[in-house]
Amino acid sequence: MDDYRPLTEEGFQHSHCILADLQWEFVDDLNLTAGMCFEIFHDRLLKDFQADFPLVKVRRKTDSGVRWFTDEFRKTRSEVELLNEMFILYPSDEIKSDRNNLRNEYRQ
């Protein structure tokens, strides 16, 4: 399962409005250190980002366990390829007929 945050135009617009309306007086507060100001700024920015771009979980389909490409199917494919090569080297109506019949069986 993967998580991601889709960045949408709506999210960008909302984020811009929120950040424009925030009060930034804490930057001028002489009682706060630079580290404290940064912490406040970072918390506000992170909270806004998480609200405007919510986390989306992607669920991947689980394997049903059904194997359609069986050994029999693989063998038929090899036989079709062999008959194809034989027809190229030794063209005959019999090989062509066998190849076409096997190819039709393979397609079904």
| pLDDT digit string, tens, across residues 30-57 | 899 999 999 998 998 899 989 888 888 8
pTM higher than 0.85: no
- Exposed, middle or buried: residue 85 (CB in 10 Å: 0-12, 13-18, 19+)? exposed
pLDDT digits (tens, 9 = 90+) for 52-90: 888 888 877 776 677 777 888 888 889 889 988 998 998
pLDDT of res. 63 = 67
Residue appearing with tokens 């950040």: 19
> DSSP E strands: which ranges in the chain?
2-4, 56-58
pLDDT of residue 1: 56
Q: pLDDT band for 106, please (50, 70, 90 cuts).
A: confident
